[in-house]
Amino acid sequence: MSEHSLSHQAYIAIKNRIIKREYRRDSYTSENQLVEELGMSRTPIREALHQLQSEGLLKIIPRKGILIQQLSLKEIRDYYDLRLAIELQTLRQLQGYLTEEHFSPLEQLIDRQQDALDHQAYDRWLEEDKSFHRYLMSLTSNEVFLELSDNIRQRVYYQPDPLRRHAYYTASTEEHKAIVAALRNQDIALAEQLMTTHILRGREKAVSG
C-alpha cells in the first residue's frame, strides 16, 4: 500500500475517533500512542496529524503531545444547522432553473454512489456523496456556499463504524434519489423536506455516536 493510502487511512481512523468523541475534550495523545494503536509507521500518522491540525481538529504541541480539540455537542449541532441552511437555500435558488442538462449529471453521481456501494468502495462513496452536494451548490454560482460547505465537512462529518456504514450509505443514496425525483417534479417543498431529513439524520448520528 502506498504512503498516500496509508496516510489517508490514518487520517480517517484518527478523525473518526475525534468525531465519535473517543477522546475527552482537550485531552492529549501522542504520536507513539497512535503508532501503537493503529499499527502504522510514523510517517503516515504524522502526515495525517498535520492534515487534521490544518482542519482545526487537533493541535501538535512540541514536547507536550497532541491536543485534541474536540467539538462540543452544541458545536456539532450548530455546524449541521449551518449546513442545513445552506442546502435548503441552494434548493430554493434552483427552483424553476433545473433542466435535463442538470439532471443527467445528478443521476450519474447517484449511479456512481450505487456502484461504489455494490463494490463496498466506501471511500469512493464518500467522494461521490460530496460531489452530489457540491454539484447542486455549484449551480447557484455561490462560491461562499461551496467554501462553507467544504469547511463544515472538514470540521464535522458523520462516518459510521464499519459494521453500520453499508446500511447508512445505502439509506443516504436512496435519500439522494428521492431529492432528485422531487426536483424533477418541481416540488421544492418536498425536496426541502427530504433534504432536512437527510441532513438531520447525519446530525443526530454524529451527536449520539
77 and 63 in one domain?
no
Q: Residue 167 belongs to what domain range?
A: 73-208
Classify the phi-psi angles of 96: left when phi > 0, otherwise alpha if psi is within -120 to 50, otherwise beta. left
Residue pLDDT, tens place only, 133-166: 999 999 999 999 999 998 888 778 766 777 788 9
Mean predicted confidence (pLDDT) in 41-55: 93
Query: Is the model's pLDDT at 25 over the cut of 80?
Result: no
79 and 47 in one domain?
no
| Total domains, the chain | 2
pTM: 0.77
129 and 175 in one domain?
yes
Give the pLDDT band (50/70/90) at residue 192. Answer: very high
Alpha carbons 36 and 184: distance in angstroms, whole number: 51
**CATH number for position 182:** 1.20.120.530
204 and 101 in one domain?
yes
pLDDT at position 141, please? 95
Percent of the chain exceeding pLDDT 70 equals 96
